[in-house]
Amino acid sequence: MKFLRIKAIAKKEIIQIRRDPLSLAMAFMMPVILLFIFGYAITLDVNNLRTVVYDQDRSSLSRELVAEFRESGYFTVVGYADTHKDIDKYLDSGKAQVAVWIPNDFSKNINTGKNAELQVIVDGSDSNTATIALGYITAISELYSQRIMGGRITPLIDPRVRVWYNPELKSRNYIIPGLIAVIMAVIAALLTSLTIAREWERGTMEQLISTPVKTPELIIGKLLPYFFIGFVDVALSVIMAVFVFEVPLRGNIFLLAVLSSIFLFGGLSLGILISIAAKSQLVASQISMVVTFLPAFLLSGFMYAIANMPKPLQVITHIIPARYFVSILKGIFLKGNTFKFLIFETILLTFFGLMVFALANKKFKKRVV
Amino acid sequence: MRSEDIAVKIESLTKRFGDFVAVDNINLTVKRGEVFGFLGPNGAGKSTTIKMLCGLLLPTSGRGFVGGYDIMKESEEIKKTIGYMSQKFSLYDDLTVEENISFFSGIYRVSNSKKKERMEWVLEMSGLKDRKGAITKTLPGGFKQRLALGCAVLHELPIIFLDEPTSGVDPISRRNFWNLIYDMSKAGTTIFVTTHYMDEADYCDRLALIYRGKIIAEGTPNELRREHMKQNVLEIETDRFVEAMEILQQEGIEAAIFGNLLHAVVADARIDIPRVKRILESSNIRVARIEKIPPSLEDVFVTLIESA
C-alpha cells in the first residue's frame, strides 16, 4: 500500500465533495434535522391525559379526589359529564382518553368506613398510554385513601424506590442517545454508498482500474474524507443531545469519540461495500437506507428492548452493529460507563468493521465485468 | 524476433459474451516502438481486445502477453507498464485540468522532483497552459482528448493503448493528436491504437483489420495495398455519381462513393476503362474524367470486408 496513492484519491474526493455544496450541506444537515424530528416526535412519557369527570357525588371529598388527579400533572380535565351517555361521547370521539366516574354514595361510604368505589374507564386503543395511565390512577387513589385514613393502617411492605441513571424517568434521555446511533448508522452508509457507483456510472472507473492503484488504497482513500464528515456529524448530534435535548453526558467525551470512530469505520465501509456491489448510485443509496435504517430502528434496542423480543429475533440483533453502538452511547451518556464496561461492544464493533472492510476489498474487481 | 523486441503477443485469443463471440481466435504480434493500428468498423471487437490486453477484461480462452506479462494471471503487473485511454472520456469532469493531472501523478506515484516537469509537459502537449484552472467539463472535445492522453501517458510508460482516441474530434484536432502519437513513438513508446477512421490507417507502421471478431488482414499499409488489392481502382468524375454507382453495381462492378467521386474496382484498367465509360454513356451519364488510381487503404478495406 502506498501513501501517495491514498493521498491522491482522498484529495480528489475532497475536491469533488467541495464542488458539490448541496450534497455537502445535506451531509451536515441530515443528522441535525433527523435528530430534531425524531427527538421531538418520539416520546414515551405520558402527560396531560385528557380526562372527563362524572361526579355524581358532588361532595367535598369527591372534589378533593378530582383535584388530586389534576394536580398530579398527568391528567387534564377536559370536561364534566352529567350522564353515562356523556362519558361515551367523550371517549368515542377521542375528546377524552380517561373517564373518572365517582358514584353518588362515594363520600357516604368513606364516612361510614365502607369500601368506596371509583370507576375509571381508560381508552385502551393506545395500549402503552393506557397501561401507564392505569399505573398513575392506582397510585393516586392509593395515596389519597392513605391520606384520608390519616395513616390508620401501615402497609406491610413500604418500598423505597430509587431510580438510577435517569432519576426523572424522562424517556427522552434514553431515546436520544440510541437515536444518534440509528441516525449515524444510516448516514454513514449513505455517505459512501455513492462513491464507487458514481465512478462506474461516469466512466471514470475504467480509467482508474487501468492504473496500478490497489484496491485497499482506493477504498481507504475514499473512506478518509467521509470519515471526517461522519465524525463532524457525530459531534453535531452529541452537541444537540446535550444542549437542545438536555440529555446528561456523564461519561468521557474522548471515549465517546474513539468508540464512535470505530462504529463509523464499519458504517462507512458498509456503504462502500454496497456501492461496489450495486454499481448504480440509485440502487446503492436505496439499499443503504433499507439495510441500515430498518434493523437499526427495530432491532438495535434503541427503543424496543431486545430482552422482550422473541428468541430468534434476539439472536438476529447480534449481527446488527447499531445494537452495540446503542449500548455504548446509552452507557456513556447516562451511566457514565468507562471503557471496561464497554469492551464487549467495542470488540464486536471492531470485528464488524474489519469484516465489512475486508469484504469490500474482496468484492471490488479491477475489471470491467 | 527476440522476445524483448515484442511489446504485445496474442495467441488464439477469444472472448465470448454468452452466445456472442466478440473476439474470435485472433493472433497478433506488436513490435516494441511501433505504431500499431487496429482497425475495423464499430462493434468489430476492437475495444474488447484492447480491454483484454489492458487487464480490464478476462479472456474466455487463448493467451496474451503485454510487456512480457501474462494477461490471464499478471494483469496488475501489466497495469504498471501501460497507459490506457478509453473510448469514452474518463477523466474527472468536475476537476480542473491541473487537478486531473495532479491526481494521476499521485496514482502513478510520480516523484515530487519530476511532478512539476510532467505537469508542464502535459499542459504543453494538450495546449492547455492558459486553461489549467478550467473545469474539465467546459473544455472542447479536442482538448479533452489530448488531456486524457496526457494523463494516460504521464508516467512515461513503455506501452500505451488508445481506444478510438480521435472519435468525435474535428479534423485539425485529429491531425494534432496524431502528431503527438508520432512524437511518443519516436521517443520509443509502443502505441496500440484503434480507430474506425480508415484515413488514419496510413499513419500507422503496421495494421490489423478486424471484422466481426476475426482478423481479416495484417501488414504494413503498403503490404496491404499490394497483397490485397490485385485489382485496379478507377476514379470516375461525374455529376450523377449516385445513379452511376447503381448502374455499375447492376452490371456486377464493385463501386463506392468517395466524396463526390466514384471508385470502381475492376480486374484490368486497360480493358475496363472503355467498358465502364460505354456502360455509363449508354445510360446518358456524362463521364467527365475516368482514370486508374493507386488504391487507398479505404479501398482495400472495403474490398476486404465485402469479400469477408
Q: What is the CATH number of the domain that holds B244?
A: 3.30.70.980
Q: What is the CATH number of the domain that holds B150?
A: 3.40.50.300
Q: Which of A1, A7, A20, A211 is best to mutate for the B interface (most B CBs within 10 A)?
A: A211
Beta bridge partners of A49: A75
Cell of A342: 464497554
- Say which of B51, B89, B106 has its CB closest to residue A4: B106
What pLDDT digit, counting tens, does each position of B132-150 carry? 999 999 999 889 988 998 9
Beta bridge partners of B92: none
Cα B145 to Cα B87: distance, rounded to the nearest angstrom: 10
Residues B69 and B180 in one domain: yes
Judge whether A324 and A348 are in contact, CB under 8 Å: yes
Sign of the alpha-carbon dihedral angle for B187, B190, B193, B199: positive
Residues B285 and B301 in one domain: yes
Region of B91 (left: φ > 0; alpha: ψ -120 to 50; beta: rest) is: beta
Cα A81 to Cα A73: distance, rounded to the nearest angstrom: 21
What are the boundaries of each domain within chain A?
A: 3-42+170-363, 49-149
Cα A247 to Cα B206: distance, rounded to the nearest angstrom: 76
Percent pLDDT > 90 in chain A is: 63
Domain boundary (B183, B205, B225) is at B225
**At a CB cut-off of 8 Å and minimum separation 6, what does B255 contact?**
B244, B245, B248, B249, B262, B263, B264, B265
Structural domain tally of chain B? 2
pLDDT bin (cut points 50, 70, 90) of residue A40 is confident
Cα B295 to Cα B301: distance, rounded to the nearest angstrom: 10
CATH code at A49-149: 3.40.1710.10
Residues B131 and B211 in one domain: yes
B99 interfacial to chain A (CB closer than 8 Å)? yes
Residue B130: domain span: 3-225
Inspect the interface and report whether the beta carbons of A211 and B107 lie closer than 8 Å.
Answer: yes
Inspect the interface and report whether the beta carbons of A203 and B88 lie closer than 8 Å.
Answer: yes
- Say which of A5, A19, A20 has its CB closest to residue B109: A5
Residues B24 and B101 in one domain: yes
Residue B162 in this model has a pLDDT that exceeds 80: yes
Contacts of A4 in chain B (CB under 8 A): 106, 109
Better pLDDT: B229 or A192: A192
B130 interfacial to chain A (CB closer than 8 Å)? no
Judge whether B258 and B266 are in contact, CB under 8 Å: no
Residue B94 in this model has a pLDDT that exceeds 90: yes
Helix/strand/coil for A323: helix
Residues B180 and B296 in one domain: no
Judge whether A293 and A182 are in contact, CB under 8 Å: yes
What chain A residue is nearest to B160 in terms of C-alpha separation?
A: A210
Chain length of chain A: 369
Beta bridge partners of B36: B192, B206
Residues B187 and B75 in one domain: yes
pTM score, whole prediction: 0.83
With vertex at residue B193, the alpha carbon angle to CA B188 and CA B198, rounded to the nearest 5 degrees, is 125
> For A104, how many CA atoms within 13 A lie in the half-sphere containing its CB?
3
Residue A155 in this model has a pLDDT that exceeds 80: no
Domain boundary (B175, B193, B225) is at B225
**At a CB cut-off of 8 Å and minimum separation 6, what does B245 contact?**
B255, B256, B257, B262
pLDDT bin (cut points 50, 70, 90) of residue B294 is confident
pLDDT at B225: 85
pLDDT at B168: 75
CB atoms within 10 A of CB A127: 10
Residues B139 and B245 in one domain: no
Residues B216 and B264 in one domain: no
Inspect the interface and report whether the beta carbons of A366 and B88 lie closer than 8 Å.
Answer: no
Averaged pLDDT score across all residues of chain B: 90
What pLDDT digit, counting tens, does each position of A64-116 carry? 889 988 888 889 999 999 888 888 899 899 899 999 999 988 888 888 878 88
Cα A143 to Cα A65, A132, B303, distances in angstroms: 10, 17, 107
Judge whether B205 and B35 are in contact, CB under 8 Å: yes
Cell of A49: 391525559
Residues B202 and B245 in one domain: no
Helix/strand/coil for B63: strand
Contacts of B93 in chain A (CB under 8 A): 202
Domain boundary (B225, B240, B264) is at B225
Residues B49 and B165 in one domain: yes
Residue B288 in this model has a pLDDT that exceeds 60: yes
Mean pLDDT of B93-114: 94
What pLDDT digit, counting tens, does each position of A168-182 carry? 778 888 889 999 999
Residues B210 and B71 in one domain: yes
Judge whether A248 and A334 are in contact, CB under 8 Å: yes
ipTM: 0.83
Inspect the interface and report whether the beta carbons of B56 and A202 lie closer than 8 Å.
Answer: no
Q: How far is CA A207 from the centre of its chain?
A: 44
Beta bridge partners of B11: B63
pLDDT bin (cut points 50, 70, 90) of residue A154 is low
Beta bridge partners of B183: none
- Sheet containing strand A75-80, strands side by side: A75-80, A49-55, A98-102, A119-122
Cell of A179: 437515536
Region of A2 (left: φ > 0; alpha: ψ -120 to 50; beta: rest) is: beta
**At a CB cut-off of 8 Å and minimum separation 6, what does A130 contact?**
A97, A122, A123, A124
Residues B302 and B215 in one domain: no
Cα B84 to Cα A366, B33, B175, B203, distances in angstroms: 14, 16, 20, 20
A369 interfacial to chain B (CB closer than 8 Å)? yes
